[in-house]
Each structure stands twice: as structure tokens, then as C-alpha cells.
Amino acid sequence: MTDWNKIRRDFPITKNSAYFQSAAMSPLPTPVFEAIQEEYRKLHLGGDIKWMEDLERFKNLCTNLAGLMNTEPDNVTFVPNTSLAMSLLALSFQNQFKKPFNIISMKDEFPASTIGFEYLNIMMKYVEPVEGRYPIDSIIEMMDEQTVAVVTSQIQYATGFHQDLFTLGHELHQRGVLFIVNATQAFPFFPVDVIASNIDVLSASLHKWGLTGHIGSMFFTSPSFRERFPSPLTGWLSVDTKGKGIIHTGKNTPFCLHESAHCYNFGTFNLQPLLAFQKALDYIQEIGLQNIQQRIMELTEYLIQGLRDLNVTILSPVSRKEERSAIVTFTLGDKNETCVKRLAENNIYVSPRDGNIRVSVNIFNNLADIDCLLEVLRDLNI
């Protein structure tokens, strides 16, 4: 039996608030906070001495992440954020595809998924949601012979709609269309098998569910994707020196990039919090992913029932359990703003999104937190 109260105690934020903003950014549990301090302590005392060792530890982290997604370690690295990940893809497509071509994405996709393509004037076609969900048939109907890729979130940030990546990936694979996934609102709580789902590229910014703050985005690319679309940008750490040290010092001499995803490493990056992320992964895996998923479902179910009892309009598509996530969005119409304010006055934190109220539950929340939130709604006489 998981001791959820013990886990709760690892998150000091729970002492005086009910925090429902993890879909914006999760607080860190104490063991992860201590791990970050420890990494910086080593830097403080030892400077650069351990850098090569730390790079090896970073590779081990990538290996562990790869295992969670059923792929090889060589296919995983980190980039600073999902916006940059998508911009890299946009550059690749601009270089490789002859116009006219288009990309299909979702109407209420978080802009990190789409803005990089629009900026390069790549034609984007947006699927309209049907009662908060994106039916796979609607995505397929929008495709034409000029469609080269579909870009979608695994879990939509505004509604929590959880897409069926397996079925969508199968359909796209059959049609030879690239499958690009933004798993920011899902990973690592809801990891996906990238092979079974035929995913070509996946980016997951980890400041939400990675429990380690702003450490950047895990970036998966399939070997065939990298072969077809060489990185459009590079840097000294991207270069494969073929075992001759790690610095390519030659000028005007030929070089090639790593065949692995490390071609996207470009230059130095902030290793300390990334290394501490291993602690967060261990913490999450010790609780167990299935356990976490069940807990999230238990908490959202309780919230959904409570909202229904109060006749609140739930905007998230919650009728099918497999489409649910940690996010539940609702509206009180013209009382939304007042409600968010009143909640904050009571140390209950939710996110206003698109004029609605987004609640996201995490492993440190409990039913009492949800009762506090429902109590405020009741007092608002909705």
C-alpha cells in the first residue's frame, strides 16, 4: 500500500495550501530539492573536475528515459524547451520538403507545438475539437496528399483530453505521414511506447510532471527520422570526433554529427538539475507508474463527482476514462475570475486558462484538498 501521506509530507507546499497548478509547474519533493543542492554543492567545491563523469551520468539518464518509452538510449536527449524542439523540426521541413505541403495540428494545441512552424510560413491546418476531444476520424479527414506530418499533444493542456496515440500512430504510419507528439502534459506519469505508437518525434518539457523544475525537454527522435532529416543546426557537442577527444578543433576540415540524438546537444547545458532529475525518476518509479496513474484517476474522479453534484459545467471530455488525465477544466461563466481570486484568498491555487478554470491534481494532493476547493465553489452560490 502506498503511503500517500508520506508522499504528501515530501511536498512542503501541502502544509498551507491546496496546489492545483502542477500542469503549469509542479513543486519539487524534498528528496529532489536536496539532490539539486547536492549537484550544485559538488560544482561549488569541485568546479569542472567531474564534468566528463557528469556527461556519462547524463547519458545514463537518457538510457533510463529511453527504457520508459521502449526505445534505444541513442534516440533520447534533451533540448532547452519544446518550442525549440518544434522550431528544429520546422527548419528541417523547410529544408527538405518542396512547397506546397502542410502539417495538421489541433485547434487548442499549446502554442509551443505550432508557433515554430507558423513562423516559417509552413501551412498549418487545425482540427476543430468535438466536445473537447479530437476524434481520430476528424484528423484523418483533414489530411490530403500534401500533408507531411501531424503534430499533437498526448494530453491537451487546456482540457486534459488524452489522445489515443496508438491508434492515431497506426493510421499515420499506414499513410506515410510523420507523427510528432508533444508529451509535456503526460511524461513521465503516462509514458508512451514510441515504437508501438509509430512516433517519429516526441518532446516533453519536464517542469510539469518531472518534479524537478525547469530542466528542459526530453527529446526523442527515431533513427529513421534523423537519417531523413539531418539536424538543421549544430554546435561543438553535436560533432562526432570518432573517438578523438570530444572537441573538434579542426578548421575547414570535414566533420560529421553524431548519428545519435546527441547531434542535438549543440553546446554545453545546465547539467546539475538534469542530473537531479534522475532522483525524481527514482522517486516516481519507487511509487510506481501504475500506482500514480490510479491515484490521479481517483482524485480526478472525486473532483468530477463533486463538480457534478454542484451542477458545474465541466469542459474536459471526461465521459470516457481512457481520455482522462490529471487535468479537469470547468467554467462558472462570468464568475470564473471571482472564483480564481476567492480560491487564492483561501490558499487554493488553480490556473485560469482561456477564460476557464483548470485544475490539475498531483501525487501530493488528497481528497481533503479537493473538498476545500469544492467548499469555496459552494460558497460562491453557483
Ligand X SMILES: Cc1ncc(COP(=O)(O)O)c(C=O)c1O
**Interface stretch with ligand X, choices 5-13, 75-83, 91-99, 325-333 (CB under 6 A):** 75-83
* 205 binds ligand X, rule: CB under 6 A: yes
Kindly tell me which of 157 and 161 has the beta carbon lying closer to ligand X.
157
Give the C-alpha separation, 154 to 327, whole Å: 13
Instruction: Looking at residues 105 to 124 of the shown chain, list those that interact with ligand X (rule: CB under 6 A).
Output: 110, 112
Spell out, one character per residue from 151 to 170, where the chain touches ligand X: x when CB under 6 A holds, - when not: --x---x-------------
**Interface stretch with ligand X, choices 1-9, 177-185, 271-279, 340-348 (CB under 6 A):** 177-185
Kindly tell me which of 132 and 306 has the beta carbon lying closer to ligand X.
132
Taking the complex as a whole, the smallest distance from the CB of residue 216 to ligand X amounts, in Å, to 8
Nearest CA-CA partner of 36 in 281, 283, 272 = 272
Instruction: Looking at residues 275 to 314 of the shown chain, list those that interact with ligand X (rule: CB under 6 A).
Output: none
Kindly tell me which of 82 and 325 has the beta carbon lying closer to ligand X.
82
Taking the complex as a whole, the smallest distance from the CB of residue 346 to ligand X amounts, in Å, to 25
Kindly tell me which of 357 and 374 has the beta carbon lying closer to ligand X.
357
Give the C-alpha separation, 326 to 295, whole Å: 10
**Interface stretch with ligand X, choices 94-102, 171-179, 180-188, 335-343 (CB under 6 A):** 180-188
Binding test (CB under 6 A) with ligand X, winner from 182, 329, 360, 365? 182
Kindly tell me which of 159 and 366 has the beta carbon lying closer to ligand X.
159
Kindly tell me which of 58 and 209 has the beta carbon lying closer to ligand X.
209
Residues in contact with ligand X, counted by CB under 6 A, come to a total of: 12
Instruction: Looking at residues 215 to 274 of the shown chain, list those that interact with ligand X (rule: CB under 6 A).
Output: 217
Kindly tell me which of 218 and 348 has the beta carbon lying closer to ligand X.
218
Kindly tell me which of 182 and 278 has the beta carbon lying closer to ligand X.
182
Kindly tell me which of 362 and 366 has the beta carbon lying closer to ligand X.
362
The 3-state secondary structure of the chain reads CCCHHHHHHCCHHHHCCEECECCCCCCCCHHHHHHHHHHHHHHHHHHHHHHHHHHHHHHHHHHHHHHHCCCCHHHEEEECCHHHHHHHHHHHHHHHCCCCCEEEEECCCCHHHCHHHHHCCCEEEEECCECCECCHHHHHHHCCCCEEEEEEECECCCCCCECCHHHHHHHHHHHCCEEEEECCCCCCCCCCCCCCCCCCEEEEECCCCCCCCCCCEEEEECHHHHHHCCCCCCCHHHEECCCCCCCCCCCCCCCEECCCHHHHCCCCCCHHHHHHHHHHHHHHHHHCHHHHHHHHHHHHHHHHHHHHHCCCEECCCCCCHHHCCCEEEEECHHHHHHHHHHHHHCCEECEEECCEEEEECCCCCCHHHHHHHHHHHHHCCC
Taking the complex as a whole, the smallest distance from the CB of residue 187 to ligand X amounts, in Å, to 11
**Interface stretch with ligand X, choices 29-37, 160-168, 178-186, 352-360 (CB under 6 A):** 178-186
Give the C-alpha separation, 295 to 276, whole Å: 25
Instruction: Looking at residues 309 to 368 of the shown chain, list those that interact with ligand X (rule: CB under 6 A).
Output: none
**Interface stretch with ligand X, choices 166-174, 182-190, 267-275, 277-285 (CB under 6 A):** 182-190
Taking the complex as a whole, the smallest distance from the CB of residue 355 to ligand X amounts, in Å, to 17
Which positions touch ligand X (CB under 6 A)? Answer: 81-83, 110, 112, 153, 157, 182, 184-185, 205, 217
